[in-house]
Amino acid sequence: MHGPLIETLARQGVTRRTFMKYCATLASMMALPPAAGRAMAEAMAAAPSASKRPSVIWLPFQECTGCTESITRSHSPTLEGLIFDVISLDYQETLMAAAGHQAEEALHAAMKANEGKYLLIVDGSIPLGLDGAYSCIGGKSNLETLKEVAKGAAAIVAMGSCAAYGGLPRANPNPTGAVSVADIIKDKPIINIPGCPPIPVVMTGVLAHFLTFGSLPELDKLGRPKAFYGETIHDRCYRRPFYDQGKFAKTFDDEGARNGWCLFELGCKGPITHNACATVKWNGGTSWPVESGHGCLGCSEPDFWDGGGFYKALSMPANPLKMVAGAAAVGVAVGVATSVLNRGKKGAARAAHEKTTLADLEK
Amino acid sequence: MSASLEKGVRVLKEMIDAPIASYFSSCVHCGLCAEACLFYTETGDPKYTPIHKLEPMRRLYEQEYTLLGRLKKMVGLSKPVTDAELGQWQELVYNSCTLCGRCSAVCPMGNDIVYMVRKFREGMSAAGHAPVGIKGAVNRTVNIGSPMGVKLPAVKAQMKHVEEDHGIPIPMDVVGAEYLVMLSSMEIINFPEYLAAIAKIMKQAGRTWTLCSTAFEATNAGMQIGNSDLARVIVSRIVEGAEKLKVKTVISPECGHAYTALRWEGANLIGRPFTFKVQHIIEVLGEFQEKGLLKTEGFETDRLTFHDPCQLARRGGVIQPQRNLMNMVAKNFVEMPDAGYMNWCCGGGGGASAIEEGEELRLAAFKKKKSQLEAVKPDRLVTACANCRIVLEEGLEHYQMDIPVIGLTELIAEHIPDLAKSEGA
């Protein structure tokens, strides 16, 4: 297997074998057949020289650059980074050297040269309040820019919870009128990669899929790739056995917490959060939030910020035990009242009983 | 002439008790009872689903005794029970239910559906919706003394015949006898062998027994029509007779509902415990057999099978004695599929056989018994209920199956050594 990518990797000290392993891992994580790993490797290795590489435009809107940080600071050596070697990242404010008019020129040149073929990545939400004045680039509101760039895109990747669902900017009371990409663009294929930030390998996996097969992977009803968002954190959590045994940490410094018991009662949102953290982990497989002792915040679910408190346990919002006595008293009262009423009715019927004679069988 | 919807509804309100409330509220609508009912399995018509046969009573319960039902009735979501509806239900509550209890046996929630049908009949009869046939039977039982119109002279005539044929005196009105033997009119008219068999068996066992001139009829049409007031009148005769003669035990004849009326409902109807014990003749024979008081000789060699009467086996819990008795006198006794506790009804119990217009349905339901019989192909069919016997004979004749039906008690008696001979030996 030869090609510009293999040569570049070799210069960076990444062997061909490592690259193949990476592609195979990527394919298996996305639940693709084994042959897909090889297809991916071939497609990426055979990526043409710089001028012909698929164009990717990355638009940042109301965001914090966390998603960019996540994807660029992952593995070392940066296997995810190699993806950038097979694509032509024509516009990415944070990473590009150009600025001002030059940057805008690059954007328009890329749009013109690759019309209908480029992949658009969006991170950040789009503010609609005050005609979009809350976030402007080059004198244009994010709304205008998105509509303009989306027109010629082959597909759109909404990177991070803000682009996918509105994220933090959309949190109640949503002062900027933030919305997601899918709220605005209705005529292009959109893939949501939520997370605050998303897991790097999830981002690169989706990109690799697009590069290899020219299509988006299978999505769930919230537009997320099923391969990574098909199961809940809870179902894959290594602390799940403690949940099943009813062993819970009650505070962050009690014995349960030290024993690594389930964080459900400390507000873990794992049971309702679909993401791959529990299996893929973070920082090159070092750890992930639950492993470091904190419950899941549910950052890849829509409106996670307004979910009622990070430390509020999921299934006991009303503390039902507090109401047991009251509920029991009400139940008993209703029961007694019904019983008295029914007894009265039955008693009246019994009192009105007329002894049946043979004649009474006839009408 | 006072039966009316109002009266029926009032009686139903009176009948709905804690068991019924819990049964209705615990029904999960699984439909298992349908498969247990021969009227459903043989017709495939879902209206014969046992719990559906109670629908008007269920609605009344809901409307009168539950909060939700009251609300539904108030806003018109739940229609009141009408006279026409009860009329429509007559077929379901009487013709297509023999109170056989298979549905109660299979209910996964433990709901005694038969108990409810029995109570529903109280309301139906008070509303004037009991079938003419059963009404006639009740009338004859109350006025004449027996559902078939048999009077004491007929019993005396049979006694005389038996005495002449077998040379054994038949005691009547003997105070202080151990057993009071009851008869069903079916036995007096159609199967006089029964009386002879009892005489032989009692003589061999050396027990004292008697008939009662004021209470010879055991069947209780009042219970079948579902009227406690009338059932009480009928059962009281037996209680008075038994207490007058100071017997220890009253023996229910080979008649399923007579047994249920006496054994299970009787004391509740009169509102106090009996001063005597009630046993089915098969229980008595089983006891004699265990104590060695029953000695038989010889065996039947043809292929015999036993039809368990529902009231005896399923509702009464008497299952093993009849099998021990069969094996005592039969070499080739085979069991039908589902025999014993889950045996299929003959199709004519619970008063159903008295309903003329129900005959077609009864014969359709008999296909179940037919298939049971075809599975074992017996030469003769033995049972312990005169009503089963009549219904079985009718069904067998209709389907042109040549299988004679006999009563277990007479079969046993046939094998009791001739008295003259045994006395001589």
pLDDT > 90: what percent of chain B? 82
Task: Tell me which residue has tokens 């009849």.
Answer: B322
ipTM (interface predicted TM)? 0.71
Q: Return d(Cα B280, Cα B315) in angstroms, integer.
A: 12
Q: What percent of chain B has pLDDT over 70?
A: 98
Pairing of strands A136-137, A140-141: antiparallel
A256 and A171 belong to one structural domain: no
pLDDT the model gives residue A297: 93
3-state secondary structure of B423: helix
Check whether residue A298 and residue A156 sit in a common domain.
no
DSSP class of A225: B
Q: pLDDT at residue B135 above 50? A: yes
**Inter-chain contact B3–A345, Cβ cutoff 8 Å?**
no
Contacts of B13 in chain A (CB under 8 A): 345-346, 349
A41, part of any domain:
no
Q: What is the mean pLDDT of residues A95-120?
A: 88
Give the start-to-end residue ranges of the domains of chain B. 5-130, 134-290, 293-414
Q: Which of B4, B126, B139 sits opposite A356 (nearest CB)?
A: B126
| Position A340 in a domain | no
* pLDDT, position B424: 39
- Give B293-414's CATH code, choosing from 1.10.490, 1.20.1280, 3.40.50, 3.90.25: 3.40.50
Instruction: Kindly provide the b/e burial profile for residues A290-300, where b requires at least 16 CB atoms within 10 angstroms of the residue's own CB.
Output: bbeebbbbbbb
Of the pLDDT bands very low, low, confident and very high (cuts 50, 70, 90), residue A212 is: confident
pLDDT digits (tens, 9 = 90+) for B237-275: 999 999 999 999 999 999 999 999 999 999 999 999 999
Neighboring chain B residues of A346 at a CB cutoff of 8 Å: 13-14, 16-17
What pLDDT was estimated at residue A320? Answer: 60
Asked whether residue A359 is assigned to any structural domain, the reply reads: no
Q: Give the CATH number, domain containing residue A262.
A: 4.10.480.10
What was the pLDDT predicted at B250? 96
Q: What is the pLDDT of residues A3-37, one digit of tens each?
A: 666 777 777 777 777 777 777 777 776 667 767 77
More confident residue, A353 or A194: A194
Phi, psi of A355, deg, nearest 5: -60, 125
> What percentage of chain A exceeds 90 in pLDDT?
42
Mean pLDDT of B6-16: 92
pLDDT at A252 over 90: yes
Tokens linked to A202: 């999830």
- For chain B, give the longest Cα–Cα distance: 84
Interchain pair A353, B2: CB under 8 A: no
Q: What is the mean pLDDT of residues B213-232?
A: 91
Domain-located, residue A255: yes
Tens digit of each residue's pLDDT (9 = 90 or more) over A276-330? 999 888 887 889 999 999 999 999 999 888 878 889 888 654 566 677 888 899 9
CA dihedral A327, A328, A333, A336 (to 10 degrees): 140
pLDDT at res. A79: 52
Chain A contact set for B3 (CB, 8 A): 360-363
CA pair distance B110, B37, nearest whole angstrom: 16
Asked whether residue A317 is domain-assigned, the answer is no
pLDDT tens figures, B39-77: 999 999 999 999 999 999 999 999 999 888 989 998 988
pLDDT digits (tens, 9 = 90+) for A108-157: 998 998 898 888 999 999 999 999 999 998 889 999 999 999 999 989 99
The alpha carbon of residue B139 is apart from the nearest alpha carbon of chain A, in Å, by 6
**Is residue A171 domain-shared with residue A254, that is, in the same domain?**
no
Q: What is the dihedral of CA B232, B234, B235, B237, to 10 degrees?
A: 120
- pLDDT of the residue at A213: 78
Residue type, B45: D
The verdict on A221 touching B (C-beta cutoff 8 Å) is no
DSSP, residue by residue, A260-292 = T-B-GGGT--GGG-B-SHHHH-BTTTTB-TTTT
Q: Is A360 within 8 Å of chain B by CB?
A: yes
d(C-alpha A31, C-alpha B372), whole Å: 57
Q: Bigger pLDDT: B336 or A10?
A: B336
Residue A76 pLDDT > 90: no
Q: Judge if A177 and A143 occupy the same domain.
A: yes
A351 near B CB under 8 A: no
* Mean pLDDT calculated for residue range A76-88: 60
For residues A113 and A188, give the distance between their C-alpha atoms in angstroms, rounded to a whole number.
19
Residue identified by tokens 């296909």 is B367
Architecture of domain B134-290: 3-Layer(aba) Sandwich (3.40)
Q: Among the three residues A199, A214, A229, which one is the final residue of a domain in this structure?
A: A229
pLDDT in tens, B153-205: 999 999 999 899 888 899 999 999 999 999 998 888 888 889 999 999 999 99
CA-based nearest distance B142→chain A, Å: 8
Residues B290-317, mean pLDDT to the nearest whole number: 94
The answer to whether position A100 is within a domain reads yes
- Do the two domains B5-130 and B134-290 of this chain adopt the same fold? no
CB contact under 8 A, A360 and B65: no
- Which of the residues B4, B6, B65, B71 would you substitute to probe the A interface, choosing the one with the greatest number of A C-beta atoms within 10 Å? B65
pLDDT-based confidence at residue A48 (cuts at 50, 70, 90): low
In a 3-state reduction of DSSP, which class is residue B280? strand
β-strand partners of B422? none
Measured distance CA(B288)–CA(B295) in Å, rounded: 9
Query: What are the CA-CA distances from residue A185 to residues A147, A176, A190, A196, B269 (Å)?
Result: 7, 19, 8, 22, 80
* pLDDT, tens only, B251-261: 999 999 999 99
Taking an 8 Å cut-off on Cβ atoms, the answer to whether A356 and B67 are in contact is: no
Q: Is residue A142 domain-shared with residue A262, that is, in the same domain?
A: no
Q: Print the domain residue range for A127.
A: 52-229
pLDDT at B352 over 80: yes
**Best residue in A356, A357, A362, A363 to probe B by mutation, most B CBs within 10 Å?**
A356
Indicate if A219 and A275 belong to the same structural domain. Answer: no
Residue A145: phi, psi to the nearest 5? -60, -45
Number of separate domains in chain A: 2
- Bigger pLDDT: B393 vs A202: B393
Residue-wise pLDDT for B191-210, tens only, equals 888 999 999 999 999 999 99
Are A144 and A280 within one domain? no
Identify whether the C-beta of residue A243 lies closer than 8 Å to the C-beta of residue A283. no
CA distance A73 to B84: 81
Residue at A30 is within a domain? no
Write down which residue in A203, A229, A255 finishes a domain. A229
Answer yes or no: do B14 and A350 touch at CB < 8 A: yes
Write down the CATH number for the domain with range B5-130. 1.10.1060
Residue A320 domain flag: no
Which chain B residue is nearest to residue A343, measuring alpha carbons? B65
Do A86 and A177 share a domain, yes or no?
A: yes
Find the closest chain B residue to A361 by CA distance: B128
Model pLDDT, residue B20? 95
Looking at residue A77, what is its pLDDT? 45
A2 at the B interface (CB within 8 A)? no
Mean pLDDT, rounded, for B332-346: 94
The residue among A229, A254, A282 that closes a domain is A229
Pick from A350, A356, A358: which is nearest to B139 by CB? A358
Cβ within 8 Å, pair A361-B16: no
Mean of all residue pLDDT scores within chain B = 92
Question: What is d(CA A30, CA A205) in angstroms, rounded to the nearest whole number?
Answer: 7
Q: Name the residue in chain B with its Cα closest to that of A357.
A: B230
**Per-residue confidence (pLDDT) for residue A317, from 0 to 100:** 46
Domain with A78 in it: what CATH number? 3.40.50.700
Band of the pLDDT at B336, cuts 50, 70, 90?
A: very high
